[in-house]
């Protein structure tokens, strides 16, 4: 049984991207609407000096003054840059690189495209990405030897480690980054995501980062951080002391709309969870004035619960909004596109496997395209080798694809002690049951499904319980089992909630198949 409950609550935990991407997305811009105190300095004397002397030294001095004053387009500056390139034999590294920068008009930020055009090439892309990440780890560690107090480098290092699934080192690096900078938006947002990502009942990560956020002075005035704190409180199931402050910031006229989008979404989510639909809508509308990808994904998630929550047309032109697109296409039942965007979502945020679990779930359950599902899951396992959820879903897809032996080999890789949640345990047991059914070991298969049903019942997870039952029913129908009538009676009692589309779909398929089998028997 594939492991994913798509209706699980979604909190506005910040997304975590590289420093360069975060800059490009404008997430690190200053919030207030005031203009920077502009100091106007003339470069005229440097121009005169350059014109009179016409040397490399005077040319570079003019370029210095020009870039410091953002006067790169001045004709004299362009001339000086050309002069440097024409005399490159006598020029040094800085001369040449600065002259080129002036003439090309390109800044030093270089974000390489890491997107894909089709899912079939995902694994090659991930192989490349992982090789790059390993190189980046080595480079960053070398840089850190020189600049051991640079928190941005530690944050980047932490991200690299999380991408290859090295939790311990990722946490270690982030703790050092926080040691050097406890009030910086970029670092706190990244840390919030990391500690939430690895947080579980056996560690104190979520409390750790929550405490830092609560104590940071920046949480009091930076809406991005207020949002993170409020969302983290929501995740912990406690009320945030910053809600009032958050409302103040979200309605402030001095902050640009892009900076309060996440905060408004976080507040909307709280209101939604309290059943205050009107207030929730109002905050979501505020969030949608200038949304980022996280807000769009949150809105799409909320729309799964309440399709009429947002009435206005949503602008999807934001960069890197892959999660939102994936959810949107899923809501619109455009499953192929939804899966494609889940792959792009993973490439954008490869430390998290939620994208792949979502994509493979759609692929396996709605598209019935097990091969695509297998590609997605194998891509995830390259960086997150031992993740039980990925392995379980892969084994599920392999079994349905007629490869139960391979499924069992995969399942044997799971260290049962490493599975911390009962949901995943139930799924793994059910998937092993499926593989056994497909190998002809019906008794073992059945026993495992019954065990999974027992676990899902004991933890009150009705969705998983229904899915376990439906998977069991499908297998019993396949082998024309003598128990099938009783099982079908129970299947028929499953309520059809729109919020559980996978249950609705599988129930229909099971009952249809049952009918087909009965008709065959009659004939």
Binding residues for other proteins, rule: CB under 8 A, are 19-20, 23, 26, 28-32, 34-39, 41, 43, 45-46, 48-49, 52-53, 55-58, 60-61, 63-65, 67-70, 90, 92-95, 97-98, 101, 107-109, 143, 146-147, 149-153, 180-181, 183-187, 218, 222
Look at residues 212, 209, 228 and name the one whose alpha carbon lies nearest to residue 13: 228
**Between 99 and 506, whose beta carbon lies closer to other proteins?**
99
Proportion of the chain in helix, strand, coil states, percent, rounded to 5: 70, 0, 30
Phi and psi angles of residue 255, each rounded to the nearest 5 degrees, phi first: -110, 135
Q: Minimum distance from CB of 239 to other proteins (Å)?
A: 28
**Between 225 and 477, whose beta carbon lies closer to other proteins?**
225
**Between 45 and 515, whose beta carbon lies closer to other proteins?**
45
Alpha carbon distance 84, 519 (integer Å): 85
Report in angstroms the alpha-carbon separations of 334 from 210, 314, 418.
38, 17, 35
Alpha carbon distance 222, 227 (integer Å): 9
**Between 191 and 473, whose beta carbon lies closer to other proteins?**
191
Alpha carbon distance 518, 523 (integer Å): 9
Q: Minimum distance from CB of 32 to other proteins (Å)?
A: 5
Q: Which tokens hold the place of 316?
A: 């999807």
Alpha carbon distance 476, 483 (integer Å): 7
Q: Minimum distance from CB of 28 to other proteins (Å)?
A: 6
Q: Minimum distance from CB of 261 to other proteins (Å)?
A: 17
Alpha carbon distance 221, 321 (integer Å): 26
Q: Minimum distance from CB of 133 to other proteins (Å)?
A: 19
Phi and psi angles of residue 320, each rounded to the nearest 5 degrees, phi first: 55, 35
Contact criterion met (CB below 8 Å) for 6 and 358: yes
Distance in Å from the first CA to the final CA of the chain: 33
**Between 171 and 188, whose beta carbon lies closer to other proteins?**
188
Alpha carbon distance 433, 16 (integer Å): 37
**Between 67 and 303, whose beta carbon lies closer to other proteins?**
67
Q: Minimum distance from CB of 155 to other proteins (Å)?
A: 9
Q: Minimum distance from CB of 115 to other proteins (Å)?
A: 22
Residue 134: count other Cβ atoms within 10 Å of its Cβ. Answer: 13
Alpha carbon distance 260, 416 (integer Å): 43
Q: Minimum distance from CB of 99 to other proteins (Å)?
A: 11
Phi and psi angles of residue 32, each rounded to the nearest 5 degrees, phi first: -80, 160
């Amino acid at each position: 049984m594939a492991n994913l409950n798509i209706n699980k609550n979604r909190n506005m935990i910040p997304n975590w991207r590289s420093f360069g991407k975060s800059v490009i997305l404008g997430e690190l811009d200053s919030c207030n609407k005031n203009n920077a105190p502009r100091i106007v300095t003339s470069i005229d004397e440097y121009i005169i000096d350059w014109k009179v002397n016409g040397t490399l030294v005077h040319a570079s001095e003019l370029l210095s003054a020009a870039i410091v004053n953002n006067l790169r387009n001045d004709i004299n500056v362009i001339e000086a840059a050309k002069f440097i390139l024409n005399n490159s034999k006598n020029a040094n590294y800085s001369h040449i690189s600065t002259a080129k920068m002036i003439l090309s008009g390109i800044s030093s930020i270089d974000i390489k495209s890491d997107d894909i055009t089709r899912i079939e090439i995902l694994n090659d892309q991930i192989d490349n990405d992982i090789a790059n990440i390993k190189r980046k780890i080595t480079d960053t560690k070398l840089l850190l030897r020189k600049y051991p107090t640079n928190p941005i480098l530690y944050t980047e290092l932490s991200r690299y480690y999380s991408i290859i699934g090295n939790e311990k080192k990722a946490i270690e690096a982030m703790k050092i980054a926080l040691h050097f900078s406890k009030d910086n938006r970029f670092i706190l947002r990244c840390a919030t995501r990391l500690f939430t990502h690895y947080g579980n009942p056996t560690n104190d990560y979520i409390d750790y980062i929550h405490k830092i956020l609560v104590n940071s002075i920046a949480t009091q005035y930076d809406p991005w951080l207020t949002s993170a704190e409020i969302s983290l409180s929501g995740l912990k199931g406690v009320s945030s002391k910053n809600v009032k402050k958050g409302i103040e910031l979200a309605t402030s006229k001095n902050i640009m709309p892009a900076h309060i989008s996440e905060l408004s979404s976080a507040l909307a989510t709280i209101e939604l969870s309290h059943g205050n639909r009107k207030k929730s809508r109002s905050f979501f509308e505020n969030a949608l004035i200038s949304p980022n990808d996280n807000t769009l994904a949150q809105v799409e998630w909320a729309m799964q619960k309440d399709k009429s929550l947002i009435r206005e047309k949503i602008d999807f032109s934001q960069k890197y909004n892959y999660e939102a697109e994936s959810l949107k296409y899923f809501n619109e039942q455009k499953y192929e596109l939804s899966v494609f965007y889940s792959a792009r979502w993973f490439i954008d945020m490869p430390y998290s496997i939620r994208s792949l679990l979502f994509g493979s779930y759609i692929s396996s359950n709605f598209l019935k395209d097990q091969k695509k599902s297998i590609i997605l899951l194998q891509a995830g396992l390259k960086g997150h080798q031992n993740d039980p959820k990925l392995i379980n879903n892969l084994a599920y897809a392999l079994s349905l694809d007629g490869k139960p032996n391979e499924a069992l080999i995969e399942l044997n890789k799971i260290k049962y002690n490493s599975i911390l949640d009962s949901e995943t345990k139930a799924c793994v047991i059910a998937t092993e049951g499926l593989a056994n059914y497909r190998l002809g070991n019906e008794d073992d298969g059945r026993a495992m499904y019954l065990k999974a049903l027992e676990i899902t019942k004991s933890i009150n997870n009705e969705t998983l319980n229904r899915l376990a039952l439906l998977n069991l029913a499908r297998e019993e129908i396949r082998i024309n089992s003598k128990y099938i009538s009783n099982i079908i009676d129970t299947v028929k009692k499953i309520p059809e909630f729109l919020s559980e589309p996978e249950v609705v779909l599988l129930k229909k398929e099971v009952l249809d198949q049952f009918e087909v089998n009965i008709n065959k028997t009659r004939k």
